[in-house]
Structure 1
Amino acid sequence: MIPFHVNNLDEIQWVDIVRRALEEELQCVDDDHPATISDVPKPLLCSKPEAYVPQMVALGPFHRHRQELHDMERYKIASAKRLQSLLPGANFHHIVNFFIKIELQIRAHYRRYLKFSGETLAWMMAVDVSFLLEFLRIFAVKNGEVLLGRTSSRLSHLVGCDRRTSAYNLLLCDVIMLENQIPLFLLHKVLELQHSSLQIAVEASFPVLIGFLKEVSPFKMLEISPWIDLGRYTHLLELLYHTVAPISEDHFETIEGDEMKSNQESIHFIKLFVKSTLEFISNRARTFILAVLKFLVTIPWRTMKSIPAMSIFTHPVEQLLFSQNDHTHPGPARDSNRMPLLEEIRIPSVTELTKAGIRFSATNGDISTIQFDAKSAVLNLPRISIDINAETVLRNLVAYETSIGSRPLLLSRYVELMNGIIDTAEDARLLSLAGVVSNHLKSDDEVAQLWNSMTRCVRLTRVENLDKVIEEVNRYYNGRWRVKMRKLMKNYVATAWECLALLVVVLFVLIASVQAFCVLFGCHPRYHGRRLL
């Protein structure tokens, strides 16, 4: 993407890039591989910069000039030397020369304009790919076991044998950050030089990438297919995103025969007609019964309401008994394209839901497994592991989802859901007991703080499945008698106490007035006795 305004850029370099972009006709490349490596949206970046800005290693061009990250350059060069020794009949210059030839294809993956020459960009990518490949090899999985001992001596002391060092956690977070991504096709090109075939190179990358996904994914129990179409994803963060928030089957169209399709449409029409007819009859019958009951109780109820002392109690009873009448006449259908209101996102906490009789169940799947069964009052949530790296991973996944803008913000909505139901350490503890949250932090309070610190996504959005779950949970919760009584006590008991307090004050004033009158004018029992007689 060539910007219209380029500041502080060498004119000859700019003209050369424009000329080659026009000559090589990269329009097809831009269409097939849209730029998915972008800057983190400002509202998210300002909330917690250290979760989006690499702290130890710079991969790619975005953070190349940061001085505090230059200490890792020697490790990168060591990885490049190690890679050069593994290339049969080639050297490192072959990789650089190939990257120079595909310079514009590399630039097309980044939304930000890269102020580097073609040769500088090629050397930068070649060195970074060497380091990234060596780091990813520690996650290679074979027969379900992680194969260690593949790292160089320089990198091994950073990672550690048990992968529990602080440097390892920093590297893992830096590698998954949105602004630190490298196009995956560059890794495949380097592996192709090692294995002499692109197919063999892709097959060799499977255990490496699957091991990395299992290590970095917060959903540890998620089954990752060993036959991932790596050609569909442009970088590691995008690959991780589509494993935790895959596109549901509803987004895909199936091709059927005309006769079968026609039969299914007819059956669907008949079912819809019968359902609509039954709903119409049911609503009319319910309305008639409520009208009769309302007529029978109207006269005595008005009499009770006319008594001042009884009006305090009749209003909450009306809210409790006749609130169901409002639900029988639902308003117009909600527009699925309309932006949701803040009130529509609110959901009771885990503690409140538990008191209302709702139980939680953990699923071994992705976000699409979130469901609520109103009959059994069970809310199914995917099992998630919260460790020291979970917040950085989740934040960058949300940042990537926000930046692509081509699909609903499914993961952002999930984060909002978890943020809504987890308010305190007790909420986190209850989810841990249910197996939904696997806590690897120091306390439940840290888990609650993690979810509460997650910033709301840049824009509110609708996700049909999750919105339906939230709506069903709220409907079940608000329909419980215990919840209704609690709301009535909260809304009207305070008013009743205010009225009682007012009566006490009035009585106190009257008594004080009588006492003052008696002090001034005298109140003798004989006098009252004579008047009474």
Structure 2
Amino acid sequence: MSTLQSSTSSTSNSNFDELRWVINIRRSLDEDLDEEIEVLVCIFNVPKTLMLTDPESYTPQLVAFGPFHYWRPELYEMERYKLAAAKRIQKQLQSLTFHNLVDQLIKFEPRIRACYHKYLDFNGETLAWMMAIDASFLLEFLQIYALIEGKTLSRVSSRMSHLVDYAGRKSAHNSILRDIVMLENQIPLFILRKVLEVQYSSLESADDMLLSMLRGLSQELSPFKMIDNLPKIEIFKCAHVLDFLYDMIVPKVDEPCETNEAEDHKEAPEDKESDSADPSYVKQLLSEVWNLLSKLKRGPLRLIKALLLSRPLRFILKLPWKIISNLPGFSILKQTIEYLFFSQDKEEEKPENSSGLNKPPLAEEIAIPSVADLSKSGVRLLPTNGNISTITFDVKTVTLYLPTVSLDINTEVVLRNLVAYEASNASGPLVFTRYTELMNGIIDTEEDVKLLRERGILLNHLKSDEEAAALWNGMSKSIRLTKVPFLDKVIEDVNRYHNCRWNVKARYFFKQYVYGSWQFLTLLAAIMLLILMIFQAFCSVYSCSRIARIQTSD
């Protein structure tokens, strides 16, 4: 055992340079003392809970940007295209060589390292060369999306023509697009600004060019294609390409909110004793039944009315409700009566708990009926030309407004990495994550996708509606649950309206108490048999025809 441990230790230490480690630590501490600007971590490893759901959506498949995936052998093929892009950048530099650009980037080594959540086991020169070459390739690719008066700035070199095109029809083009937005495949945006500044000899011109590139890229990748007014974003405040895309898509929410792990939520216990002791629901039901029966004076219904006024039933109804509710089978009947007639009143009488406003939502609070169920209950669904902030529910017109969403082969990667970035970076509510949970909630099957597509809410460029439904249903995994006030209100209002519809209550009743409960069926049969026996005994003692004559004379 000791031999195995020593061999393992020697193997693990063989790749560890102690002297280099000490030199790097000393240099890092000395440089941080002179650093005036605090740089926050902005490039993270994807959380494992998300990575396990779909690794290919978070791992670059064609080209690596930055140090996280740089040494993967399957990505080496793109290195020659990166070097070709660097050579073209070198030709455009004014009175400088590419080596001079790298020397300038070496000065930003502490700032570059500070952007990455993971420790970078590279020396400063290697890191600077990596950033310069990756930035050259990325900027050349982004030229496709540079928008100046509706036209592209320049043509992509013939060396990349078989990889990318303006229409995005080539598979490599879309593969690069997906790799560009992956969280672990980002490089700091100030590196791109610096390379452009060297090219244009002006930081203002560099920022204008970079902004046009990223706005064009966002219009290509954003799932919300119909946004009327794009937000104005200051390029120097963005951390990387994915951060720019996030700011373009996700509205700002100022409300602070506590967050917690989803697994820690537990439903608060309910006071069942107080409900079971309350006879008001049964009294209201009997009052309504009596009002209906009092209007019935024809045919055999008169006999049923006389039966209800008989002494045995009057005696049963005079018993305390606690005794009746504890009889075998009557507890199921009580729950059924309360659900069908008084569930809405109970919800309205529920006191507001001010202490729970900042608590994370329960899992069942995110539940919302599917599109098909909402349509059956009378809810209209209409599209909006905007982002997530346009999601509303009009109670008066019973209309749910949702932003128009376009789905294509790149959408799933964009959605997943935006969720991963938000979970890693955001300290407040996870707005975009909650939106994906909402869409996952209302889309269960391809029928739901079809209804959204017919109403213009969903533009499906995938192969089938089934594939689109699978996309949204695969977005169910999240890191934590948070309250997003305007989305929470929409979910609450929709659920309140839907759950109070009689057809919904009836469907739930039959599913819960009839199809899924043999006890209720047994109780129902026993009640019917008891009624027939009472009716037979009543008619044997009292002449039913005589009672009918008395009712007629009255």
Distance of aligned partners of 1:315 and 1:120 in 2 relative to their CA distance in 1, 3 Å threshold: closer
* Alignment equivalent of 2:347, drawn from 304, 311, 327: 327
Per-residue deviation, residues 467-522 of structure 1 (Å, max 9, x unmatched) = 1111111001011122122222323334554456789999xxxxxxxxxxxxxxxx
Give the match's secondary structure for 1:167: helix
Distance of aligned partners of 1:214 and 1:497 in 2 relative to their CA distance in 1, 3 Å threshold: same
Specify the alignment match of 1:425 in structure 2: 446
* Alpha carbons 1:218, 1:384 under 8 Å: kept: yes
CA distance, structure 1, for counterparts of residue 59 and residue 529 of structure 2: 63
Specify the alignment match of 2:145 in structure 1: 139
Give the match's secondary structure for 1:385: strand
Moved more, 476-485 or 311-320: 311-320
* Alignment equivalent of 1:24, drawn from 13, 26, 31: 31
Per-residue deviation, residues 407-426 of structure 1 (Å, max 9, x unmatched) = 21111111111111100000
Specify the alignment match of 2:96 in structure 1: 90
**1:167-206 alignment, distance < 5 Å:** 167-206=172-211
Q: Aligned-pair distance for 1:439?
A: 0.1
* Alpha carbons 2:281, 2:338 under 8 Å: kept: no
Specify the alignment match of 1:231 in structure 2: 236
Per-residue deviation, residues 41-92 of structure 1 (Å, max 9, x unmatched) = 0000011100000000010000011000000000000000000011111110
How many residues are matched?
464
Indicate whether 1:222 and 2:242 are aligned. Answer: no
Q: Aligned-pair distance for 1:7?
A: 9.7
Specify the alignment match of 2:408 in structure 1: 387
Distance of aligned partners of 1:152 and 1:482 in 2 relative to their CA distance in 1, 3 Å threshold: same
Q: Aligned-pair distance for 1:326?
A: 1.5
CA distance, structure 1, for counterparts of residue 162 and residue 75 of structure 2: 18
**1:4-403 alignment, distance < 5 Å:** 8-25=15-32, 31=38, 33-143=39-149, 145-147=150-152, 150-223=155-228, 225=230, 227-248=232-253, 302=317, 316-333=336-353, 335-403=356-424
* Alpha carbons 2:214, 2:244 under 8 Å: kept: no
Distance of aligned partners of 1:503 and 1:470 in 2 relative to their CA distance in 1, 3 Å threshold: closer
Per-residue deviation, residues 201-255 of structure 1 (Å, max 9, x unmatched) = 111222111111111111112246474201111101011111111213667xxxx
CA distance, structure 2, for counterparts of residue 315 and residue 220 of structure 1: 48
* Alpha carbons 1:133, 1:187 under 8 Å: kept: yes
Give the match's secondary structure for 1:361: strand
Distance of aligned partners of 1:35 and 1:223 in 2 relative to their CA distance in 1, 3 Å threshold: farther
CA distance, structure 2, for counterparts of residue 328 and residue 246 of structure 1: 32
Distance of aligned partners of 1:412 and 1:249 in 2 relative to their CA distance in 1, 3 Å threshold: closer
CA distance, structure 2, for counterparts of residue 202 and residue 139 of structure 1: 15
CA distance, structure 2, for counterparts of residue 484 and residue 27 of structure 1: 68
Distance of aligned partners of 1:60 and 1:313 in 2 relative to their CA distance in 1, 3 Å threshold: closer
CA distance, structure 1, for counterparts of residue 251 and residue 339 of structure 2: 44
Instruction: Give the residue type in structure 2 aligned to 1:158.
Output: L
Per-residue deviation, residues 21-55 of structure 1 (Å, max 9, x unmatched) = 33333585663x30110100000001110000000
Moved more, 492-501 or 159-168: 492-501
Per-residue deviation, residues 91-130 of structure 1 (Å, max 9, x unmatched) = 1011110111111111111110100011111111100000
Per-residue deviation, residues 273-296 of structure 1 (Å, max 9, x unmatched) = xxxxxxxxxxxxxxxx99996896
Q: Aligned-pair distance for 1:455?
A: 3.6
Give the match's secondary structure for 1:116: coil
Specify the alignment match of 2:308 in structure 1: none
Specify the alignment match of 1:276 in structure 2: none
Distance of aligned partners of 1:211 and 1:315 in 2 relative to their CA distance in 1, 3 Å threshold: closer
Moved more, 367-376 or 44-53: 367-376
CA distance, structure 2, for counterparts of residue 292 and residue 193 of structure 1: 83
Give the match's secondary structure for 1:137: helix
Q: Aligned-pair distance for 1:324?
A: 3.6
Distance of aligned partners of 1:176 and 1:324 in 2 relative to their CA distance in 1, 3 Å threshold: closer
Instruction: Give the residue type in structure 2 aligned to 1:110.
Output: Y
**1:438-449 alignment, distance < 5 Å:** 438-449=459-470
* Alpha carbons 1:36, 1:109 under 8 Å: kept: yes
* Alpha carbons 1:129, 1:186 under 8 Å: kept: yes
Give the match's secondary structure for 2:167: coil
* Alpha carbons 1:372, 1:380 under 8 Å: kept: yes
Instruction: Give the residue type in structure 1 aligned to 2:17.
Output: D
Distance of aligned partners of 1:249 and 1:38 in 2 relative to their CA distance in 1, 3 Å threshold: closer
Instruction: Give the residue type in structure 2 aligned to 1:373.
Output: D
Per-residue deviation, residues 368-422 of structure 1 (Å, max 9, x unmatched) = 1111111111111111110001000000000000111412111111111111110
5+ residue gaps, structure 2, are: 1-11, 257-279, 291-312, 531-554
* Alpha carbons 1:29, 1:105 under 8 Å: kept: no
Distance of aligned partners of 1:408 and 1:7 in 2 relative to their CA distance in 1, 3 Å threshold: farther
Give the TM-score normalised by structure 1: 0.80
CA distance, structure 2, for counterparts of residue 126 and residue 35 of structure 1: 20
Instruction: Give the residue type in structure 2 aligned to 1:204.
Output: M
* Alpha carbons 1:224, 1:243 under 8 Å: kept: no
Give the TM-score normalised by structure 2: 0.77
Give the match's secondary structure for 2:59: coil
Instruction: Give the residue type in structure 2 aligned to 1:336.
Output: L
Specify the alignment match of 1:434 in structure 2: 455
Moved more, 66-75 or 186-195: 186-195
Instruction: Give the residue type in structure 2 aligned to 1:52.
Output: Y
Q: Aligned-pair distance for 1:310?
A: 11
Distance of aligned partners of 1:224 and 1:196 in 2 relative to their CA distance in 1, 3 Å threshold: farther
Moved more, 295-304 or 205-214: 295-304
Distance of aligned partners of 1:457 and 1:27 in 2 relative to their CA distance in 1, 3 Å threshold: farther
Give the match's secondary structure for 2:163: helix
Moved more, 496-505 or 163-172: 496-505
Q: Aligned-pair distance for 1:313?
A: 6.9
Q: Aligned-pair distance for 1:329?
A: 2.2
